[in-house]
Amino acid sequence: MIAASHAIAGAKTVGTGNDLLLQLDYRTKVPGACPIDVVTYEIVCDKGNKPATWSATKAFLTYMASRKGQENLTFQGYATLPAAVVERVRGEIGTLS
């Protein structure tokens, strides 16, 4: 799991506007990195969300990107996001309404 986080740390953030996409280097030579990763994405619209469920959706995203949420991922065997990536994710979540 740490090896996956090291590999993700070497990824480039690509995309346009508010789209956060990672371009992984599957030939990385970063010490301790295992480039056999699959990154999942959450697609969240910034408009047109259902008012009845939006607060729960935003709370979930906020928690998962939080320090505690990232720590809890390791207990479940998942890799955490590198600091630079999680900071961008937190920033994007903050813009959603």
- The pLDDT-based confidence of 1 (bands split at 50, 70, 90) is low
Q: Look at the pTM and tell me if it is higher than 0.75.
A: no
What is the predicted pLDDT for the residue at 42?
79
Q: Of 30, 59, 29, which is closest to residue 44 (Cα–Cα)? A: 59
pLDDT digits (tens, 9 = 90+) for 8-63: 777 788 877 777 788 888 888 878 877 676 677 778 887 788 889 999 999 999 99
Domain ranges of the chain: 2-95
Place of tokens 């740490």: 2
How many CB atoms sit inside 10 A of residue 77's CB? 7
More confident residue, 60 or 3: 60
What is the predicted pLDDT for the residue at 35?
67
